[in-house]
A and B are shown apart, each in its own frame.
Chain A
Amino acid sequence: MSNPPDPPQKSGYRRLLVGFNHQIESRTALDLAAKLAEAVQTELAGVFVMDQDLLDMARLPFTTEILRASRQTRNLDPAAIELELRATAELMQRRLRQLALRAHRQCSFRTVHGHLLRALMAQAEAGDLILLRQTDLPWPGGRQTVLAIDGPVMLMTPAAAGGDGLENLARQIAQVLQKTFIAAPMDTPLAKLSELRPGLVIAPADMFESSDDKAVERFTDAVRCPVLIAPV
């Protein structure tokens, strides 16, 4: 039997920011975010992004929607889409509050319009941790978004100095989640990272400073696990 983990220590990070929209397994993402917020003793901040592209394109007269459950088709109505997005946001907010209460964390919630990654980055403030996850495919039953931490906690070690705080954070999370801790240089090829099968990647914020959205998505898709971006 393993020893019980030590009680979480306050990490010095202010908030854990988690974003979601109608496309992701938002409920599970929230669970994970709450668990990490408890592990690192931060506030929990949720950002629901209403997909502006979807709202715009719903105005096309011929657009139809194929419903996942019933496999029926129906015309895409902008008003109905917006209503459904708001309803999803409402459900997410309620869920966020429940989880934060259970984890004894303070929480906040915002709804914004835009693109998920960009909107999330725009909401981030200094001292925030940002939880990212791999992008979804539209197809139901296809590749599963991995949101359970089912492997070691991997730290992308920064090239520059000042990574001690990050390592402490990574080790703390690993201990609380009872996972092993591993480290990999930031310049490790994506294919190699994928082979390491991490359960959670902790990456310094400057790793993606010069990257575009596509690069971030490529990274999250390659590691196939949640990614926690932390300020150095």
Chain B
Amino acid sequence: MTDRNVKHVKRVGALRAEELRRHCEAGCLSFASTAELADPEHAWGQERAINAIEFGADISREGYNLFVFGAPGAGKRNLVRQILERRAAKLPPPSDWIYVYNFAEPHKPNAIALPAGEGVRFHNAQMHMLEELRTAIPAIFESEEYRVRRHAIDEKVRESQESAFAVLDRRAAEKSIRVVRTPAGITLLPARGGELIKPEAFQALPENERQQIESDIQELQKEIVQTFESMPRVEKERRQALRELNREFANFAVREIIDEARAAFDGIPEVREYLDLMQADIINNVQIFTQSHEMQEASELPGGGQAGTGAGGAGPGDGLAQALLGNPFQRYETNLIVDNSGLQGAPVYYEAKPTVQQLVGRVEHIAQMGALLTNFMLIKAGALHQANGGYLLIDARALLSQPFAWDTLKRALWGREVRIESPADLLSMVSTISLEAEPIPLRTKVVLFGEAIIYYLLSAHDPEFQNLFKAVAEMEDVVDWTPESEAAFSRQFAAICRALGLRHLDPTGAGRMIEQVARLAGDAEKLSLHNGKISDLLREADYWAGKDGADLISAGHVQQAVNLREERIGRLRDRSLEAITRDIVLIETDGAHIGQINGLSVLSIGELTFGRPSRISARIGIGAGRVLDIEREVELGGPLHSKGVLILSGFLRERFGTEHPLALTASLVFEQSYGGIDGDSASSAELYCLLSAIAKIPINQSFAVTGSVNQHGEVQAIGGVNEKIEGFFDVCAKRGLTGRQGVLIPSANVKHLMLRADVVTAVYEGRFHIHAVDTIDRGIEILTGLPAGERQADGKFPEGSVNARVEARLRAFAEARKQADGGQSGNGESRARL
């Protein structure tokens, strides 16, 4: 390792080449291939997050669901999954869940919990039982015993009725009357010798005989009506006797078969209770199992036990449920919605599409004859069912983007139960009768993961969030670059290569990867923990290694991957550079100008991030002490940029405005800038430019400047320093490096330097320069070649210094302003007060 690998001290002045990029020496990595390295035991640098996740996973108190947040690609889901799977393996598998028919209220299916693995056993037992019943019940109703006893009931009634009708027949015969059927009933007609008396013959009878016949018919008619009226009671008794007979035989057939299941699931009271109800229902609805005409007749009787009528009477959805059940035996089946028979521990379930229905389950429907029909067998489990007794992992952004999903999840967590709801129910759009499946108790720990902004927004705007997600884990973005972390990252590379089936890396490849990981962090002392980007880079390096026919990924392959990736996505960067080199965008890289400087900015578009120089110019005149930020005036400058301009105004007042008013008006502008500008990283450049304009001292255009400034004139750190330097270097290199060109950066940013090799080489060869500055005075000296000058004991700056020339010019402005104002002193503000 080089001396750059030691902790940085504040560095000021022209930087040496070795200060511009930290190297990971391959010799420090003690392996020939990452294939030799074992997977890391835990995610390096994420100890705090790991502890938090383990705490959140372990604590079993209400509201201690877990929110894990960090940058996209930080490996949140994998980390959480690994930790939870380890813990879940030590927990017992949770219960299986089945839905069964509710015999009392068919539209409200009942849920029953069974020990893990028992659900499928009960389901199989149920199917076997049903098969047995479908054989045994018809058999017993076709038995000779049943036929004889049924026949006896019929015979008894028949005999009773026939004896009554025989009496009527005898009375009719005695009176020469014949009983004849009509389409709707019976009629009594006069007869003689067994033959009907035709109307003509009847009319020919004597009057008294006719009257006698009519009288006899009327009398017999009354008796017949009385006999008829007694028939319903007799028929009712027959039906009752038949019903009792059916129950007796059904019970005999059913009891033995169901008793087997009772014995097999003796320890589960809910199952016993269900089997009792099932037995009663089968006995009441035994006609489902027999298709005989006789049984159908019995079932059609009032109170005879229509299909769908439970032991406790008909429920409100009874008719609907019966109509829905195309298969009448389905009511005796079980819907095994959660089967944990294959689990070795508690479930860890990741729901990729957390819609309402995917979360809490759904009731499916079947379109039939234009209607949507359903039953309890069409209930489908949701993620909360599947993860019950374990852990449910959900991407917070995906959850929040699904309508009603967040509220539904909260309701489930608050209520500690899974209640199947559909979006239509939630909108109250549908008011038809549907299934209301019994809610299932919820014992799931929900783990949300997402970006920090989501966590903070939920915390700020949803008062329930903090109470439901009391456990929080925050993923680190970066970790210190140390020899230990180099070793840890090498193991991480090995794990990724193994997991993705990539070639392994040799030490040069691993070293180059580590350097690139530092570049991703934008810091020579830190390494990025962005696993997503690291994996992508490894994939692409593997690709180029493959093209090269290499067995291992080396530094060259990694560099090739970096370079070609930048080239692939760099079209906009190249167009921007071209616009400068063709003098469409005016940037000078040589010579000197008053009131003009090269600032540096960073553009981020999609994956592409690059630095670009911009010309900043300043113009001054006599005025009221105001620095005009043109970007702000035209609403192209953001608040941070405006703040920077106001700060530099403060610096001017403090340094030059204590003895006399700042009778200055100045305007600052980013030339040829047509988009928005924000950030304060150009405030030092703007101040240099302003000082140049006031003092009439030209600035060397070979330099570009970045850094923010405070009111004391100290230059402060900025972001994107590497991209900014490289952006100006590219412009200079394109035009030809003169050996005079360079960039001024805040000394606080030296520790962030991880520059490209070509920039480092140019600096090493003296063709490009990078200066670390900590004050405006140091920077203006480099830019103008003149001393800045410190205020001396007499209160004046040294003759010929930049500050002396600035102060002299400002004093002249003040005098001129005083004269213009008719001898009154003060600035515009005081005049306004007057």
Are A22 and B183 touching (Cβ within 8 A)?
A: yes
Chain A residues with Cβ below 8 Å from B293 are: 148
Docked Cα-Cα span, A76 to B186, in Å, equals 10
Q: Is B235 an interface residue (CB 8 A)?
A: yes
Write out the residue numbers on chain B whose beta carbons fall within 8 Å of the beta carbon of A53. 180, 196
Q: Is A85 on the interface with B (CB-CB < 8 A)?
A: yes
Can you add 5 more A-B contacts, CB < 8 Å, to A84-B183, A88-B183?
A60-B190, A66-B224, A73-B225, A139-B186, A142-B162
A sample of 16 cross-chain residue pairs with beta-carbon separation below 8 angstroms, ordered by A number, consists of A53-B180, A53-B196, A54-B187, A62-B217, A63-B187, A65-B184, A69-B185, A73-B225, A84-B182, A138-B179, A140-B186, A140-B228, A140-B231, A141-B234, A143-B158, A148-B293
Contact call A66/B225, Cβ cutoff below 8 A: yes
A159: interface (CB < 8 Å): no
Do the beta carbons of A66 and B183 come within 8 Å of each other? no
Q: Enumerate chain A residues within 8 angstroms of B221, measured Cβ to Cβ.
A: 64, 66, 73
Q: Does B199 contact A (CB under 8 A)?
A: yes
Q: Contact: A63 with B158, CB < 8 Å?
A: no
- Give per-residue flags for B141-183: 1 if the beta carbon is below 8 A from chain A beta carbons, else 0: 0000000000000000110011001001000000000011111
Known A-B contacts A23-B181, A56-B199, A138-B179; the reply to A66 vs B186 at CB < 8 A is yes
The reply to whether A65 and B185 form a contact with Cβ atoms under 8 Å apart is yes
Query: Does any Cβ of B come within 8 Å of A71's Cβ?
Result: yes
Chain B residues with CB below 8 A from A196, complex form: none
B122 at the interface (CB under 8 A from A): no
Instruction: Known contacts A57-B199, A138-B179, A140-B231; decide if A68 and B165 are in contact (CB<8 Å).
Output: no
Q: Is the CB of A76 within 8 A of B161?
A: no
Known: A53-B180, A62-B214, A76-B187. A71 touches B199 (CB 8 A): no
Residues of B within 8 A of A (CB): 157-158, 161-162, 165, 168, 179-190, 196, 198-199, 202, 214, 217, 221, 224-225, 228-229, 231, 234-235, 293
Report A9 CB to chain B, min CB distance, Å. 28
Q: Is A136 in contact with chain B by the CB < 8 A criterion?
A: yes
* Contacting residues, chain B, for A81 (C-beta < 8 A): 182-183
Chain A residues closer than 8 Å to B179, beta-carbon distance: 138-139
Q: Give the size category of A's interface with B.
A: 35 or more
Q: Which among B186, B202, B229 has the greatest number of chain A C-beta atoms within 10 A?
A: B186
* Residue from the list A58, A60, A144 in contact with B202, Cβ < 8 A: A60
- Complex contacts, B231 vs chain A, CB 8 Å: 140-141
Measured between beta carbons, the chain B residues less than 8 angstroms from A139 are 161-162, 165, 168, 179, 186
From the candidates B162, B180, B184, B196, name the one contacting A68 in the complex (CB within 8 A): B184
The minimal Cβ–Cβ distance linking A133 to chain B, given in whole angstroms, is 15
Indicate if the CB atoms of A68 and B187 lie closer than 8 Å. Answer: no
In the assembly, what is the distance between CA of A76 and CA of B158, in Å? 29
Q: Which of A66, A67, A142 contacts B161 (CB 8 A)?
A: A142
Chain A nearest CB from B243 CB (Å) reads 18
- A142, B187: Cβ atoms under 8 Å? no
Determine how close the nearest CB of chain B comes to the CB of A188; give it in whole angstroms.
Answer: 24
* Shortest distance between the CB of B225 and any CB in chain A (Å): 6
A137 interfacial by beta-carbon distance below 8 Å: yes
Interface pair B185/A66, CB less than 8 Å apart: yes
Cβ 8 A contact of A66, one of B189, B202, B228, B235: B228
Q: Is the CB of B180 within 8 A of A54?
A: yes
Q: Which residues of B contact A136 (CB under 8 A)?
A: 181
Return the chain A residue nearest B179 by Cβ.
A138
**Distance of A117 Cα from B235 Cα, bound (Å):** 32
Interface hits, A166-201 → B, CB 8 Å: none
* A59 is an interface residue with CB less than 8 A from chain B: yes
Hey, which chain B residues are within 8 Å of A143, CB to CB? Answer: 158, 162
- Given A66-B224, A68-B184, are A142 and B198 also a contact pair (CB < 8 Å)? no
The CA-CA distance from A218 to B225 in the complex, in Å, is 29
A138 to B172, CA, bound (A): 13
A residues near B162, Cβ cutoff 8 Å: 139, 142-143
Among A59, A63, A88, A136, max chain B CB count under 10 A is at A63
Instruction: Name the distance in Å between B71's Cβ and chain A's nearest Cβ.
Output: 69
Q: Which residues of B sit under 8 angstroms from A71, Cβ to Cβ? A: 225, 228-229
Query: A28-50: which have CB < 8 Å to B?
Result: none
A138 partner, pick from B186, B214, B234, beta carbons under 8 A: B186
In the assembly, what is the distance between CA of A215 and CA of B162, in Å? Answer: 23
> Which of B184, B190, B199, B231: most chain A CB closer than 10 A?
B184
Residues of A within 8 A of B158 (CB): 142-144
- Expressed in whole angstroms, the Cα–Cα distance for A148 and B231 within the complex equals 25
B189→A67 contact, CB < 8 A:
no
Supposing A54-B180, A66-B224, A73-B225 touch, asked if A142 and B165 sit within 8 A by C-beta, the answer is yes
Q: Is the CB of A85 within 8 A of B183?
A: yes
In the complex, what residues of A have CB within 8 A of residue B157's CB? 141
> In the complex, A4→B783 CA distance in Å?
108
Contact A138 B217 (CB under 8 A): no
CB distance from B540 to the nearest CB of A (A): 68
Which residues of B sit under 8 angstroms from A88, Cβ to Cβ?
A: 183
Cβ of A65 to closest chain B Cβ, rounded Å? 5
Indicate if the CB atoms of A66 and B187 lie closer than 8 Å.
yes
The 3 lowest CB-CB distance pairs between A and B, nearest first, are A84-B183, A67-B185, A139-B165
Which residue of A23, A59, A140 contacts B199 across the interface (Cβ within 8 Å)? A59
Closest to A84 in B: B183
Of A69, A85, A138, which contacts B180 at CB under 8 A? A138
**Set of chain A residues within 8 Å of B217, measured between Cβ atoms:** 62, 64
Q: How far is the CA of A60 from the CA of B214 in the complex (A)?
A: 10
Chain A residue at minimal CB-CB distance from B214: A62
Complex: A59 Cα to B231 Cα, angstroms = 30
Report A-chain residues with C-beta under 8 Å of the C-beta of B181.
22-23, 136, 138
Give the Cβ gap from B230 to chain A, nearest Cβ, in Å.
10
In the complex the two chains form, is A60's CB within 8 Å of B161's CB? no
Using Cβ atoms and an 8 Å threshold, which residues of chain A touch B180? 53-54, 57, 138
Query: Considering the chains assembled together, what is the distance between the CA atoms of A136 and B182 in angstroms?
Result: 12
Q: How far is the CB of B75 from chain A (nearest CB, A)?
A: 63
Nearest Cβ distance between residue A20 and chain B, in whole angstroms?
12
Q: CA of A127 to CA of B224 in the docked complex: distance in angstroms?
A: 45
A73-B222 Cα distance, complex, nearest whole Å: 10
Q: Are B196 and A67 in contact (CB under 8 A)?
A: no
Contacts of A54 in B (CB 8 A): 180, 182, 187
Q: In the complex the two chains form, what is the Cα distance from A118 to B221 in whole Å? A: 30
- A68 and B186 contact, CB distance less than 8 A: yes
**C-alpha spacing A104/B183, complex, angstroms:** 31
Q: Which chain A residue lies CB-closest to B154?
A: A144
Q: In the complex, what distance in Å separates the CA atom of A148 from the CA atom of B228? A: 27
Bound-complex Cα distance A85 to B183 (A): 7
B696 to chain A, nearest CB (A): 113
User: Judging by beta carbons under 8 Å apart, are A67 and B202 in contact?
Assistant: no
Residues in B neighbouring A138, C-beta threshold 8 A: 179-181, 186
For A70, the closest partner residue in chain B by CB is: B185
Instruction: Flag if A84 contacts B225 (CB, 8 Å).
Output: no
A65 CB contact (under 8 Å) in B168, B182, B228, B229: B182
Does the CB pair B235–A141 fall under 8 Å? yes
Report whether A22 and B196 are in contact in the complex, using a CB–CB cutoff of 8 Å.
Answer: no
Distance, CA A138 to CA B224, complexed state (A):
12
Q: In angstroms, how far is the closest chain A Cβ from the Cβ of B485?
A: 76
Minimum CB–CB distance from B756 to chain A (whole Å) comes to 85
Assess the A84–B229 pair: CB atoms within 8 A.
no
Kindly report which residue of chain A lies nearest to residue B162, judged by CB atoms. Answer: A142
Complex interface: chain A residues within 8 A of B229 (CB): 71
B746 → chain A closest CB, angstroms: 94
| Cα-based distance from A127 to B831 in the complex (angstroms) | 134
Verify B199–A84 contact, CB threshold 8 A: no
Give every chain B residue within 8 A of A148 (Cβ-Cβ): 293
Q: What is the bound-complex CA distance between A137 and B172, given in angstroms?
A: 14
Distance (Å) between the CB of A229 and the closest chain B CB? 24
